[in-house]
Amino acid sequence: MCRYPVGMPEMLTPADACTLLRRGGVIGYPTEAVWGVGCDPMDEAAVQRLLRLKQRPVEKGLILVAACVEQLDGLLAWDALSSAQQDVVRTSWPGPNTWIVPATSRVPHWITGTHAGVAVRVSAHPVVIALCERFGGVLVSTSANPAGAPPPVELDDFDAALRAALDGLVAGRTGDLARPTAIRDARTGEALRL
C-alpha cells in the first residue's frame, strides 16, 4: 500500500478495512454525499472511541448502513410498522434515504442513544456496499467531522486531527448529493433532517 503524508492514514481496500473493523478499528470512507466514519456497531469500545473522536454524545444515536435489506434482519421491528409504512421504507432503498425504524433488543443502547428506534439506510454507494458485503453486516455511518463542524466532501476537507486518529481510509469518492442523506421517521414520515 502507498504511504501518504504525515497525519494521513493508509488508503485501504474494503477487504483490508474490514480486517481493521473486526479488530475494533475506526475507519473513514466515502458515502453518498460526504466522507463518513464507521466501525462495528456491536463493538462498544469501537463505538465509544468513534464518539470521542467526533465529540458526539452517545444519547444522540448513530446511523447504521447496510448493503441490502437482509443485513438489517433481526435489528428492525418491522412488525411495529404497517405494511404501507414498510413499503415506503423498502421501496426507497437502495438509495440516500435514512429512516428511523423501531429497533429490536439486539440493537445496543450505544447505537440507539435515548431513542426507541434506530436510524438505518441501505446504501447505493459502491464503497459502502463493498464494505458491508465484505464485513458481512451493517456498519456505523456518521459524518467525518467533529460535532458542529461541516462534514468533509473531499478528502482535503477532513479535520486533520480526526483524520490522523483513524485507523485507515477507504479509497473512493463521495457521491453527488449536495448534503448528507435525509432522515425520516418511518412511522410518521416526518422529516428529521433534509
Across the chain, which has 194 residues, the per-10-residue mean pLDDT values are 49 94 97 96 98 96 97 97 97 96 98 96 97 97 93 91 94 86 91 77
Structural domain contains residue 112: yes
Distance CA 9, CA 19 (A): 15
User: Which pLDDT score, from 0 to 100, does residue 7 have?
Assistant: 52
pLDDT of residue 192: 84
Place of cell 477532513: 158
Domain that holds residue 42: 11-193
Looking at residue 5, what is its pLDDT?
41
Q: Look at the block and give the residue holding cell 440493537.
A: 107
Domain count, the chain: 1
Whether omega for the bond prior to residue 94 falls within 30 degrees of 0, making it cis, is yes
Answer whether residue 5 is part of any domain: no
Q: What pLDDT shows up at residue 151?
A: 93
pLDDT of 126 reads 96
What is the per-residue DSSP string for 130-177? HHHHHHTS-EEEEESS-TTSPPPSSGGGS-HHHHHHSSEEE-----S-
pLDDT of residue 181: 82
In a domain, 107, yes or no: yes
pLDDT of residue 1: 38
- pLDDT at site 9: 67
CATH of residue 134's domain is 3.90.870.10
Name the pTM for this structure: 0.92
- Residue 162 in any domain: the answer is yes
Confidence at residue 117, expressed as pLDDT on a 0 to 100 scale? 96
